[in-house]
Structure formats: C-alpha cells, structure tokens
Amino acid sequence: MAKVTFSIGGVHPHDTKLARERAIEVLPLPQTLYISMAQHLGAPAKPVVAVGDRVKTGQVIAEPGGFISAFVHASASGTVKSIAPRADLAGNMVPHIEIAVDGDEWVEGVDLSDTLVTEIPSDRAAVLDKIKACGVVGLGGATFPTHVKLNPAPGSTAECLILNGAECEPYLTSDYRILLERTKEIVVGAAIMQMVLGGCRCVIGIEENKPEAIEAVRRALTELPYDNIEVLPLKKKYPQGGEKQLIDAVMHRQVKSGGLPISVGAVVQNVATSLAVYEAVQKNKPLITNTLTITGDCLPVERQHNYLFRIGMPLSYIAEYAGGVPAEAAKLISGGPMMGRAIANLDAATVKGSSSILYLRADTTLRKAESACIRCGRCADACPMGLEPFLLNRLYKAGDLEGLEQASAHDCIECGCCLYSCPAYIPLLDHIRQAKGQVMGVIRARAAAAKAAAEAAKAAEEAKKENK
C-alpha cells in the first residue's frame, strides 16, 4: 500500500531515534512516590484517602473531579504520608498524594500474568465503565479521559478508529518499543475500542521509518481473529502524529476550526492508550504504568533507554538510575524537541502521559539571534493547520486580540513547524502560544457570558410565568 501523509504543511527534522534498539526495562520501585491529582485533561481528581492510610498497588486514591476527569490509583503499596501541593514539571504547585513505598502488594482481581486474552467483551457499557474505573486517559499527549472520547454524543457516529503509531517527534522511541514488544495486546485493545464504537473500521498508522513495527502489527493481525483492522504505512513527516493530520492522511477529511474529530467520523487514540485499554478491560489493571525514553545527543548509545515506569516516580530518581544527568546537558526536556516542555524541576514526578527525559547539548538548543522577517513565507508553507504565523506574530506584537481571533490563532497546535522553518530565527511559536492563550481566554469569557445571559433569561421567563 502506498504511504500517505497529510496534505498541508509539515517539516522533515531528522528522526534521531537513538534508543530504538533498546528493549523496555522495568524500573525498580523508589522509596517514595508523588502522585499528581492533575495528570489528565479536565478537572483535577479528588483524593479519597487520608494521611496515614495504607494503600495497595492499583487501589483508587482519587476520584474524578468532574465529567472531564479521571480516577487515580496507587502505583505501589505503602502509606500515605501527605496530601499537599508539590511542584510539577513546569514548577506549578499541584496537589499530590505522597506514598511511602513498602512493597508491591496489589489489590485483588488484577491479572498480572502474561497470558493474552483475545475474546472481546460484548457489553459496551460495562467496557466503558471498566476503562473509566481504571483511569485510562489518552497517552499521545493530551491525556483526555478515554471513556469520554469513546462515547460520542448522541447523533455522532464513528466511521473510523485511528490508532496513532506515528511517533513523529525526534528522539522518542517508547511507542515504537511497545509496538514491537506488546504488539498483540495493542491489537486486542484496538478491537475492544472498535467494538465500543460500533464496529467501525480501524486503521493503525505507523511511519515508514519503523518497518519492523509495521511488519509486527501485520503479522499479529494475521494471527488474531479480528476483522476490519489494517495497518497503514505513513510517510515520515512531522507532525504526522497530530490528530487532525492523521485524520487528513487516513480519511482525507479536514476537521473544521473549533470542531472535534468525531464531526468527520473519526476517533483517534494512541497505541499506548490501546495497550492501557487492553490491560484495563482484559486484565482489570489500572493505568499506573507507562513507557518513557531516556535519550539525547549527549548520551552514548549504552545510556539510551526505554523504561517501564510507575506513575509518581520522581524524575530525579529515574535520571539517577539511568546514570545521572550528563555534564554536557544544557537543557532537559519532557517530551520531544519539537513539542516537549523544558523541565524546570527534576524532582517533579512522572504522570500518566510522561514520555521522555531528553538531554540536549548547548549547541543543539542555543537559539541564533533573531533578525527581521524577510517575508519568505516559509512559516506559512510549513504550518500544518494552514495558518499564517508571520501574520499572527505581527498581530500578537500589536496586541490585536480581535485580529488574532479572526486569523484563527486558537487553531494553532503548537507543533513548532513555524519556528523550525524560520530563517530569521523569530520565536514564532513562543509568541503564537501566548497569543493563543489570550484568544482562548476571550472565547471562554464570551461563552461564559452567553451561558449566564441565557440562564438569566430563562429564570426571568420562569418568574414571569409564575407571576401570571
């Protein structure tokens, strides 16, 4: 099958998959875990344990704080030492539950065997409840609660489930490794989600620079009893793994500004999410583990790693276990070099969506001096959302919020293609990210005002009827 890709923009950074040959290693438990209450999109979870309580591995320690929220579980057994704010990756103070680890005593009912369970349950509601109860969230970056995404609003129909195995960010290899090492579990997870969505077509998209993964999934599909699931090789182009870009590549449909993937019949999930769904539904195992890559251009090959970690492990513990922070490292990043965020606090703990600790040298991260825009249009050519970054930058500097909204600054996916392609080294991404935040604030305020006005009008109408 011909390799496909999205139709607008994109760039071609070197993939630099230095850890691709490193099999997943299991990290030993630390003495202390710090489990965040805000490790998913939406409302933070609410603790249901108290200081002094002893918890078991897999036990619920926090419940959803709203409709868009998720359960949080203990990732080891031990005693709750504190429930208090603690700095996250960016240095923001977020509530955490601190657990003094005493072992790995699991709650009853979790199947820890390696036995593959291939029979797909037929009770859709029960499967969704299981996914919700196990705290499964999207592991491709956004960490949106999976049970919500798999339950589209009435009137919406899923025509295609797309599994994102692109892993287009340079350096990252954790998805690649699970595609090789947990292939069948990922396929079973896909079949489960396919059932929940009504039996729609399922496409597993994998970039062409991972031929071993493509072949592994194809082989698994011939050995497993599922229909209407296929592998689609994708061209190596960044940001191929973006939700809207995958939909464009696979279904040749574009999601309109402000729209959701389901509006064009698509549901997109990451391959790691599919593995988490398998473990939740078939093994009754909550989402307390994930895989991350230790990598960078200042690490020799023998110090590149892919680790299976427990949620709540301090990054400093993982870094030390992997040999310490290299002296040549000028910048530490959580995620990839394109969309990842600088690690401001190495004592921060891993969350469900953690994907890497990336070490980069000074000559890699040093930005060249900014010069004047030469109006070459490369940023617009590279933007996968069809935006005009040079215009957004100009409007941002002018403080023109109305202009920024009209120019669709809120549609920016913060992929960094504009910054990567700019020959004048203008910090386009930094400026547009701030502009997007300002515009989103205006949009949210307008929506809140409209909602309040509608409620007031309804109340006035009801009062008028009562007075009659």
Q: What is the pLDDT of residue 1?
A: 46
The single-letter DSSP state of residue 314 is B
- H helices of 167-242, where? 174-181, 183-196, 211-223
Which pLDDT score is estimated for 462? 85
Q: Are strands 266-270 and 46-47 parallel, antiparallel or unpaired?
A: unpaired
* Domains, the chain: 1-28+115-366 (3.40.50.11540), 378-441 (no CATH)
| Nearest residue to 387 (alpha-carbon basis) of 405, 414, 411, 403 | 411
Element (H, E) at 94: strand 93-103
- Please tell me the predicted confidence (pLDDT) of residue 72: 98
Q: Which candidate, 120, 249, 252, 286, places its Cα nearest to that of 194? A: 120
Closest Cα to residue 410, out of 392, 430, 397, 426? 392
Q: 79 is written with which tokens?
A: 């005693």
Contact of 201 with 160, CB cutoff 8 Å: yes
Instruction: Give, for all 468 residues of the chain, the pLDDT tens digit.
Output: 457 999 999 999 999 999 999 999 999 999 999 999 999 999 999 999 999 999 999 999 999 999 999 999 999 999 999 999 999 998 999 999 999 999 999 999 999 999 999 999 999 999 999 999 999 999 988 899 999 999 999 989 999 999 999 999 999 999 999 999 999 999 999 999 999 999 999 999 999 999 999 999 999 999 999 999 999 999 999 999 999 999 999 999 999 988 999 999 999 999 999 999 999 999 999 999 999 999 999 999 999 999 999 999 999 999 999 999 999 999 999 999 999 999 988 999 999 999 999 999 988 877 889 999 999 999 999 999 999 999 999 999 999 999 999 999 999 999 999 999 999 999 999 999 999 999 999 999 998 999 999 888 888 888 888 876
The candidate with the shortest Cα–Cα distance to 305, out of 441, 122, 205, 171, is 171
Query: Residue 459: which H helix or E strand, with range?
Result: helix 428-467
| Tokens (6 digits) for 323 | 């040999």
Q: Distance from first CA to last CA of the chain, Å, rounded?
A: 70
The confidence score (pLDDT) of residue 368 equals 87
Angle, helices 389-398/428-467, rounded to nearest 10 degrees: 70
How far is 432 from 441, CA to CA, in rounded Å? 14
Sequence-ordered list of residues with C-beta below 8 angstroms from that of 87, at least 6 positions apart, any chain: 93, 94, 344, 345, 347, 348
Q: Among 435, 282, 415, which Cα is nearest to 11's?
A: 415
* DSSP per-residue letters across 363-419: HHHPPPPP-------HHHHH-TT---HHHHHHHHHHT-HHHHHHTTGGG-----HHH
Contact yes or no for 173/200 (Cβ under 8 A): no
CB contact at 8 A, 197 and 160: no
Half-sphere exposure at residue 115, Cβ-oriented, CA atoms within 13 angstroms: 8
For residue 314, report the phi and psi dihedrals to the nearest 5 degrees. Answer: -60, 140
pLDDT of amino acid 330: 92
Q: What is the pLDDT of residue 468?
A: 67
Tokens encoding 166: 């692109």
With residue 84 as reference, give the H or E element that holds it: strand 77-87
Q: Do 185 and 290 form a contact (C-beta atoms < 8 A)? A: no
pLDDT at position 460 is 86
Neighbours of 303 (CB within 10 A): 18
Strand pairing of 229-234 and 54-55? unpaired
| Rounded CA separation 177/398 (Å) | 46
Q: What separation in angstroms does the CA of 441 have from each of 246, 409, 446?
A: 28, 12, 9
Spell out the alpha helix ranges (H) of 109-182. Answer: 124-133, 146-149, 174-181
pLDDT of res. 2 = 56
- Model confidence, pTM: 0.94
CA distance 229 to 363: 44
